[in-house]
Each structure stands twice: as C-alpha cells, then as structure tokens.
Amino acid sequence: MSDSTPRRALVTGIANERSIAWAIARALAADGFELALTFVGDALERRVRPLAAEIGAGLVLPCDVNSDADIAQLFTTLGEEWGNLDVVVHSIAFARREDLMGRFIDTDREGFRLALDTSAYSLLALARGAHPLLKAAGGGSIITLTFEGSRRVFPNYNIMGVAKAALEACVRYLAADLGPDGIRVNAISAGPIKTLSAAGIRNFRDMLRFAGERAPLRRTVSPEDVAALARLLATTDGSGITGQVLPVDAGLSILGI
C-alpha cells in the first residue's frame, strides 16, 4: 500500500464523548484515517453525528448488530462508498440491568442469549461482513474491547463476564481463520473507565476507586490510554500481533488480590 492510499476504519459503539470508541476514533482520525461511524436509533444518532463532524468522519451509518440485515446493509454501503476497509473497531456490549445485579445463577435464558448475542456474536458477524473489504485492502485489523471480568469474578458484572470470555475466544478463532488473508484480530482489556456502559454496573465507583489505589501505577486509565494501543494495532506498527488480549489497566491485572 502506498502512502497516498487512503486508510479507512469503521468504528462502532460510540455512545457519547466519554466512550472509549470515541477516543479511538479521534486517535485514528489524527493518524490520517478516513472514518465511518455507526449508531443505533435516533437518540444515538443525535449524539454521534456532531462527533463525526468534529473529526471529519464522512460516513455515519445505522447498524443494529442484533440484525443480520442491518449488518449486511452496512457493509454493502461501505463497499459501494469505499470498496475496501483497513480497520474495524468493535466496541459493543449489552446486558439487561437486572442481569448485572444479584446472583449470576438467576440469569434466565433470554438474558443469557441477549448478552452473548450483542456482546460476543456481534464481533463474529461484523468480521464476516468486513472480511471481503479487508481482504480487498490486502489485509487489515479488527480490534475489540474486553475486561478482566472475563477471567475473574467482579461483583455485579455477572453475565457480562461470561460474554467477554466468549468474545475473547472469538478473537482467537477469528485470528486463526483470517490470518492467511493478512487480517489481524485482537482485544484490548481496559481497566475500569467511567463510561456510559459502566454506569450500568452497580457500585462501579468502588471498582474505580479500588483500581486507582491498588494498581501498580497507582492510577486508573483513560480512554486515551486505550486509544493509543488501538492506534498501534490498527497500523503496521502492530503487524506482528494477532489473536491476543492486551491489557491497558495500569498493571491491575497482575495482582493476585
């Protein structure tokens, strides 16, 4: 790829200006990427469009990842507008509020299905849709976001921990499938960050305070810390990295307690 060839990235999951996905979008825009952003519903569209304008994102497209038709239309549009794609950022997770409280054992079948479909299967669905466009670019990078709750029990994380574990397994299997086409797949495991989605976790402030007091660096991390690693994974600087879960948590995950 020559230096004059546009680099193009799809960023999903921006909820507002505090979203990790928004920090990643800004980092990629600053690095010269053309951007497409997605939204779900009118309320999020009203939030995302001004942010897209702020960084010059030329495409703002609807996509509900629980809908195969929406995903197909998203990549049809990207194919028509761009013809290829270099980066996909998957920053999507959801579970019902009641499934993030109480006991995990009380999660019903529908709550389990919804969390796994939205938070884990969506990566597979987006990767499958993006595959032809990434391949047309000569390879690329798929980046998703996870959390240490996939490996250790965090109070009030419950079904989301299971969904993140499934997401990380998807990363490994997708990396194996797509590697021959030069497509890398990685996850960033961010430490606790105050975002809109984190607000759904009861006692999240206690988790944030604990992280700041106990992490080896004695601080929490910011969306910009995560975005710095995402930028590396999105570019040729990360060309030898695939199938990995990479922590950005000020060292919190190395502690035994």
Catalogue the active-site residues.
Answer: 157, 164
The encoded tokens of residue 99 equal: 């499934």
Q: Are 141 and 234 within 8 A, CB to CB?
A: yes
Q: What is the separation of C-alpha 225 from the centre of its chain, rounded to a whole number of angstroms?
A: 14
Q: Which residues contact 231 (CB under 8 A, 6 or more apart)?
A: 24, 27, 28, 31
Q: Are 211 and 249 within 8 A, CB to CB?
A: yes
Q: Are 24 and 193 within 8 A, CB to CB?
A: no
Rounded Cα distance, 27 and 23, in Å: 6
